[in-house]
């Protein structure tokens, strides 16, 4: 195992890091790195990764796993931990070991770092905009295929909160489900019958549907693409229902959320705001690796 000399973020590291890294390495290296073969196999080198812009760091476990898979002799020393703020031109991590491993792992390791730091940085921007409210910024299932656990980890590093992981750990009844089932009541009743222990949420597009969902006894409502003044009314309706039945209901807003309007939406009193763009509209953070042979 490569030596990692700094503790990582408090966010739980997903269990599939090694599997994802092995797939990424196979995708890039195939049956052999023809470029690294140009350098003598007994050469050792040092390298450092530099952040070229301000960012929130995420992706260290995947970065570590790349070099651990290529050669256990590679030593990795971090200057900061996932979830911490990076300043432009700061050295993020230093490496030392066989040059073939450093050359072969460079692109794959940086790909993970730039993608996940980009997700964390975008999340952090939204979290900062709603600071001072009780509203959480949460992710969605709109993730890159095969990288869901990694991107959701990055959201946590940026200060966000994870929504359900997939179709198995919570139920979100959306427009097509309602249409297929016949009504909100019918969809909710069937969900309660089949999966009584799961969190049950219904997406609504107007106040009439909201009232139907509340009367059906859901655990949460997703207010989709509602104007701010309508959101405020919806929050009041849900609050009244909470008081009347003495039960909690999670109020979530989603749809057409941006840095421009997220604070206004949070100020309506919603519990959380889900933003698909955190993981699907990714702007990678700029990193570069500089190598020095011994």
- The catalytic site residues sit at 107, 142, 174, 203, 224
Q: Residue 259: what are its φ and ψ, rounded to 5°?
A: -65, -25
Q: What Cα–Cα distance (Å) separates residue 135 from each residue in 72, 271, 273?
A: 44, 5, 7
Geometric angle at alpha carbon 124, from 120 and 125, rounded to 5°: 125
d(CA 281, CA 115): 11
Tell me which residue of 87, 86, 103 sits closest to 95, measured CA to CA: 103
Strand runs labelled E in 7-90? 44-51, 55-56, 75-78, 85-86
Strands 250-254 and 136-138: unpaired
Interacting residues of 27 by C-beta distance below 8 A, sequence separation 6+: none
52: Cβ contacts below 8 Å, ≥ 6 apart: 88, 89, 286, 287, 288
* C-alpha to C-alpha distance for 232 and 227, rounded to whole angstroms: 9
Distance CA 255, CA 151 (A): 20
Cβ atoms within 10 Å, residue 245: 12
Which ranges of 130-270 does DSSP label H, i.e. alpha helix?
148-157, 175-181, 184-194, 207-215, 228-245, 262-266
């Amino acid at each position: 195992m490569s030596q990692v000399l700094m503790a990582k973020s408090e966010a739980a590291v997903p269990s599939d890091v090694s599997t994802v890294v092995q797939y990424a390495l196979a995708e890039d290296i195939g049956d052999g790195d023809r470029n690294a073969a140009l350098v003598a196999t007994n050469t050792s080198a040092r390298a450092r990764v530099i952040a070229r812009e301000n960012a929130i760091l995420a992706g260290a476990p995947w970065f570590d796993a790349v070099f651990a898979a290529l050669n256990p002799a590679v030593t990795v020393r971090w200057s900061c931990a996932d979830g911490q703020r990076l300043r432009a031109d700061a050295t993020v991590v230093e490496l030392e070991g066989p040059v073939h491993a450093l050359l072969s792992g460079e692109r794959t390791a940086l790909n993970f770092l730039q993608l996940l730091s980009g997700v964390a940085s975008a999340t952090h921007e939204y979290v900062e905009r709603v600071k001072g409210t009780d509203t959480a910024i949460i992710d969605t299932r709109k993730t890159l295929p095969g990288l869901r656990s990694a991107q959701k980890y990055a959201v946590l590093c940026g200060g966000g909160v994870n929504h359900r992981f997939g179709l198995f750990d919570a139920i979100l009844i959306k427009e097509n489900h309602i249409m297929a089932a016949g009504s909100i009541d019918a969809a909710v009743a069937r969900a309660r019958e089949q999966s009584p222990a799961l969190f049950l949420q219904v997406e609504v597009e107007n106040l009439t549907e909201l009232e139907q969902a509340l009367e059906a006894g859901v655990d949460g409502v997703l207010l989709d693409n509602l104007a701010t003044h309508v959101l405020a009314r919806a929050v009041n309706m849900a609050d009244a229902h909470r008081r009347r039945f003495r039960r909690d209901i999670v109020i979530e807003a989603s749809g057409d959320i941006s840095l421009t309007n997220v604070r206004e939406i949070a100020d309506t009193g919603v519990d959380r705001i889900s933003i698909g763009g955190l993981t699907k509209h990714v702007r990678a953070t700029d990193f570069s690796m500089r190598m020095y042979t011994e």
